[in-house]
Amino acid sequence: MVKKLSNWLFKLSNNWSIAQKIIYGYTVTVGITCIGTASGLLVAYNYETYAHKQLILAYQQQALLKDLENAVTRVRLHPQRLVTVLDNSIWLEFEKNRFLDGIVQVRQKLLELEQFVSLYQNDLLINSQDIHQLLNAYDQTTESYNQIVKIFLARN
């Protein structure tokens, strides 16, 4: 195939003058340069688009994890408030409801993160099974913490 093409090109260019051969050589060189540049730009654009998508997913995952961390911290610190209002039944009921609302928020954040992981499981850099195990551990710990506080409140 290459031999036939080179023979055809040799026969075609046999009648050309030196100036025509130089002009056609430069034309081929510029054409190859333009094609190479265009294909390189297209490949770079695809990689840039993929990297931008990964960056957006990383920001979303970071925001979800930070929201979960904040919700868990609020729930963990809330029993300190409960201790200060044990003598006042109205404030105790209010703080107990705030604690239960915090538990609901933690579960909501866990669900949001679970949905995010399920939706983008092929695009995440972290193994989705590891995240599922982490979320299950968070859920179990939150439930244990909830039970401990409920037992404490039942005694008082």
Report pLDDT digits (tens) over 6-18: 777 777 777 888 8
**Residue 146: CA count within 13 A, CB half-sphere:** 18
Establish if 115 belongs to a structural domain: yes
What distance lies between CA 115 and its chain's CA centroid? 12
* Cα–Cα distance, 121 to 63 (Å, whole number): 17
Write down the mean pLDDT value for the chain: 88
Q: Residue 98 is encoded by which pair of tokens?
A: 């705030």
Return the top range by mean pLDDT from 7-11, 33-37, 113-117, 152-156.
33-37
Establish if 102 belongs to a structural domain: yes
Establish if 138 belongs to a structural domain: yes
Q: Which of 24-38, 39-53, 71-85, 136-150 has the lowest mean pLDDT?
A: 71-85
Q: Is the pLDDT of residue 19 over 80?
A: yes
Domain count, the chain: 1
Establish if 75 belongs to a structural domain: yes
Return the top range by mean pLDDT from 33-42, 49-58, 138-147.
33-42
Q: Is the pLDDT of residue 156 over 70?
A: no
pLDDT greater at residue 92 or residue 42: 42
Single pTM value for the model: 0.73
- Over residues 126-144, the pLDDT tens digits come to 787 888 898 899 889 889 9
* Cα–Cα distance, 38 to 43 (Å, whole number): 9
Dihedral, CA atoms, 33, 37, 39, 41, nearest 10 degrees? 180
Q: What phi and psi, each to the nearest 5 degrees, are found at residue 114? A: -60, -45
Establish if 20 belongs to a structural domain: no
* Cα–Cα distance, 109 to 60 (Å, whole number): 13
Establish if 44 belongs to a structural domain: no
Domain assignment of residue 101, given as a range: 53-155
Residue 31 host element (H or E): helix 18-84
Establish if 10 belongs to a structural domain: no
* Cα–Cα distance, 94 to 98 (Å, whole number): 6
Contact 71, 105 (CB under 8 A): yes
State the pLDDT at residue 31.
95
